[in-house]
Amino acid sequence: MASNVAVGANARRRVGALIGGFARSRELTLAVVLVALATLVAARAPNFLASTNVVSVTALAAIIAIAAVGEALVIITKNIDLSVESTIGLVAFVVAEVLKQHNLPIPAAWAIGIGLGLALGMANGVVIAIFRVPSIVATLGTLSIYRGLTYWVANGHEINSNDLPAGYTDAASRSILGFRIGDFQFPGVPIFVVLAVFVVIVAALALRYTVPGRQLYAVGSNAEAAATIGIRSQSTVFLAFSLCGMLAGVAGVLWGMEFGQLYASSGTGQSLAIIAAVVVGGVSISGGSGTVIGAAIGALFLGLINNALTVLLLPQEWLQMIYGAVILFAVSTDALIQLRSQRAKARSRIR
Amino acid sequence: MTQDPQTVNRPPDSSPTSTEASIAVGHPRNATNLGRGLVSVVARWEVLLIVILAVVIWEGNQISPFYIDWTNFGFSTGGTMEVAIMALAMTPIIITGDIDLSVESMVGLSGAVLGVLWAGGLPLQFGIPIVLCVGLVGGLFNGMLVTRWGLPALVVTLGTLALYRGLAQVVLGTSYVSNFPKAFTDFGQGYVPGTSVPWTLLAFLTAAAIFCVVIHMTWIGRQVFAIGKNKEAARYSGVRVATLRTALFAVSGMVAAFAGVMLALRTNSVRSDNGSGLTLIVVMIAVLGGVDINGGKGTIPGVILAVFTLAALQSALRLAGVSSEYQNVTIGLLLIFSVITPQLARQFRVLADRVRQGRHRPVRDPIPGEVVR
């Protein structure tokens, strides 16, 4: 009898562990919720799956996802970068301004955008890693400094899509791998998505398999231990901020391609969306854990919610509230799962 | 109880020998050493702020003959009082090692609720207490999530930053409310009769006096610093850490709601985006006032000085014809340099000590940019 109970408890525990493990893999849970939500929305609003809608959803989500990958690198080191939205805005505007003034090829625009983003990220890195300013203070400062630079460059003007070369503004609607079989037409994959997937895969592999990638986690989870085994936290954090700036630069170039119309205030408020994507994607704000794949899925998830409101004809005023609720819900479930598993561990230890 | 990394990672500079008031430059390690004692007084952050304030005022006087003028004083301080009063409530929160990013959205939400109640025919003398309760509840919600569920304050208030702004948008939509009764807008815009002191400045000074007494002269304040230095140690010495932290968030929410009322009455209009972007300035004032973003250090007098420094600077820039976008750049630069300066001073002191003592003092490098969460 007693052994029977024990077996039952054992089996229950094993099932519990399986469910717990599933719930703890944030990427998987989020992906399932994402698909479920998409199915639900598609059932209610058929035009959700129209190719123009899919392209517009994924284009914006791809931009946020690329920036979120950079932000994830920073948050993994137990820092935060609040200035990404200003970096995106400044890069987008400067690149467009250069293209408007000079007849440059598109790759040159890319080089300028990425280079500028890298420089802005390195500036953050210098202030934080060398001058030891807490990242939240430093990037709060550069958030307004970079935005001020954008106002200075813009000088009261804005940029229209007619000012820009067609090769630049067309890119958002271009896609590859399209094909047609009989009546079935596959519209292809938008190149923004291809680029985002590429960035995510490279970043994920680098974080998993390269020495600097592992060092980011080491510094974020226990700086003391990292220092003991000879990791220089200063250069690691500097690297994270530089890469974050560079990826924000990529996002900035894409932002210009996507919108065409650029103001000095373009991108305002996106830092919140980007950090929300990272947090919802399961990257711990206390550093040392999380993946860039999670961050990217988080970006897609939030983009989907945004679009769902539109296609379901719900008022846009709800968006901010839902964003806030989703962030709080995501971090709360994390905390509760952690609390549960800690209690379960404590209980099993007593046994 | 979740493990709290900050207690482990605290740099040794915040050893009990450093008084929370002094910046790291002046450790009065040897009381008989008059020179060092003098340095510790002169190198106090507040003294530095007074110097900065004096320089700003002197420069402002060069820019325009109207700068040192009671009318300008009233005008430039009156416009800063919303962020100033929120900075007072933010100070103890940062001292305990938390942060409240949601204050600007609470400004929007309280304004929106006030506007809807007023438009619905409820007199303001009933509307304002209701709005303050909304702020209290919002702050309590922040505090409960942070302390009961052990979530990082940064994420929680980032979430409620979006949530409360969203609620404001739902409550008010894209419309706006104005035409508040004159008796009330006089509080937001007017001056104490016969003087150039805005009513809002009077409100701020009253609040500042209360905060100063509570933080620096009562057991509550001692407990706030104790939490900021070491949460675990504070808990074991009988401080009700969770309750006190929750209370601080509740106070911050209510003060933000009051700031929302002040803003609504000063501008005589309410929109759902009222107050957006103010969190930056509130945190900036606290940091400029010498409050350590990693917790454990800070003074209310420092924050009050920072408020007047900011008001003086903004007024000087305005008279010099600098537009508001560039004013933000100046604020951002000031923010970064206000942190770099004591950091450099601290590194210099460590270097000087090493040279003097001729041996290596074991100093752990904190993670660059490390923020207590």
A71 located within any domain: yes
Decide if A216 is inside a domain. Answer: yes
Instruction: Read off the CATH number of the domain in which A140 is found.
Output: 1.10.3470
Q: Tell me: the pLDDT tens digits for A98-121?
A: 998 888 888 898 999 999 999 999
Q: In the numeric block, which tokens belong to residue B228?
A: 């900021």
Predicted-complex ipTM score: 0.80
Q: Does B1 touch chain A (CB under 8 A)?
A: no
Cβ-nearest to B283 among A140, A223, A224:
A140
The per-residue DSSP string of B127-188 comes to HHHHHHHHHHHHHHHHHHHHHTS---HHHHHHHHHHHHHHHHHHHHTT--EE---HHHHHHH
Secondary structure of residue A181 in the 3-state scheme: strand
Name residues of chain A where pLDDT drops below 70.
1-24, 178, 184-185, 187, 349-351
| Calculated CA dihedral for residues B15, B16, B19, B22, nearest 10 degrees | -10
State whether A323 and B162 contact (CB < 8 Å): yes
**Phi, psi torsion values for B32, nearest 5 degrees:** -75, -15
- Backbone conformation region of residue A79, classed left if phi is above 0, alpha if psi is from -120 to 50, else beta: beta
pLDDT of residue B327: 78
In a domain, A290, yes or no: yes
pLDDT at position A251: 96
Is there a domain that residue A44 lies in? Answer: no
Asked whether residue A335 is domain-assigned, the answer is no
Q: What is the DSSP code (8-state) at residue A127?
A: I
In a domain, A331, yes or no: no
Question: pLDDT for A45-93, tens place per residue?
Answer: 888 888 778 888 888 899 999 999 999 999 999 999 999 999 999 999 9
User: Which candidate from A138, A143, A224 shows the least CB-CB separation from B369?
Assistant: A138
Helical packing angle, A211-221 and A191-209, nearest 10°:
70
Nearest to B74 by CA among B173, B187, B234, B201: B201
- Write out chain A residues lying below 8 Å of B323, CB-based: 151
The answer to the question of residue A104 being in a domain is yes
Give the distance from CA B297 to its chain's centroid. 13
The correct CATH number of B81-353 out of 3.40.50, 1.10.890, 1.10.10, 1.10.3470 is 1.10.3470
Task: Give the integer Cα–Cα distance in Å for B67 and B84.
Answer: 21
Q: Write out the residue range of the structural domain in which residue A197 sits.
A: 51-175+186-314
β-strands B177-178, B269-270: how paired? antiparallel
Length of chain B: 373
Residue length of chain A: 351
Total-model pTM: 0.82
Alpha carbon distance B301, B293 (integer Å): 17
Cβ-based burial of A178 (10 A; exposed 0-12, middle 13-18, buried ≥19)? exposed
What backbone phi and psi angles, to 5 degrees, belong to A26? -60, -40
- Going by C-beta distance under 8 Å and a sequence separation of 6 or more, which residues neighbour residue B243? B147
Residue A3 is assigned to a structural domain of this protein: no
> Choosing among A271, A285, A343, which should be mutated to test the B contact, i.e. which has the most B CBs within 10 A?
A285
pLDDT of residue B8: 41
A-chain residues within 8 Å CB-CB of B152? 285-286, 331
Number of domains in chain A: 1
Confidence check: pLDDT of B315 > 60: yes
Q: Are A29 and A295 in contact (CB under 8 A)?
A: no
